[in-house]
Amino acid sequence: MGEKRGQTEKLVYDFPTQLSTEIGYEDGTWSRVTCKQFRSYNGPRRILKFNKEGEGVYIEYNGPVYYYDSNKKIKDLTKKGYAYLHDITPKPQLRPGENHFLNDEKVRKQLGK
């Protein structure tokens, strides 16, 4: 169904997609993300691999950063966070019955209200 949105080519993954992928935030916390998010995050990234003894080892990943949902590499690496094509950040939308979330200031900021 991606053809309707113009996504006719397969996304390129320069890392093993079966492994756990994590991104690092400025406050030092790490979060597990999908491979699609991992490839388009401009910031610290790491992959969890297992050695011969079965112990988990984090390996820092310094591969290319792609725009979200495309195979175009970003050129300006100064902007941190997710890289969106044409600098259009998708805004979350509330479904009917979720207006109580507007009481939270963090949610209001994300929605632009």
pLDDT (tens digit per residue) in 15-57: 999 999 999 998 889 999 999 999 999 999 999 999 999 899 9
Instruction: State residue 66's pLDDT score.
Output: 93
pTM reported for the whole predicted model: 0.71
| pLDDT, tens digit (0-9, with 9 covering 90-100), for 48-97 | 999 999 899 999 999 999 998 889 998 888 888 888 887 666 666 667 77
CB 32 within 8 A of CB 22: yes
Q: Is the dihedral of CA 55, 56, 62, 67 positive or negative?
A: positive
Q: Is the dihedral of CA 69, 75, 80, 86 positive or negative?
A: negative
Calculate the alpha carbon distances from 17 to 37, 85, 109 in Å: 12, 22, 33
1 has pLDDT over 60: no
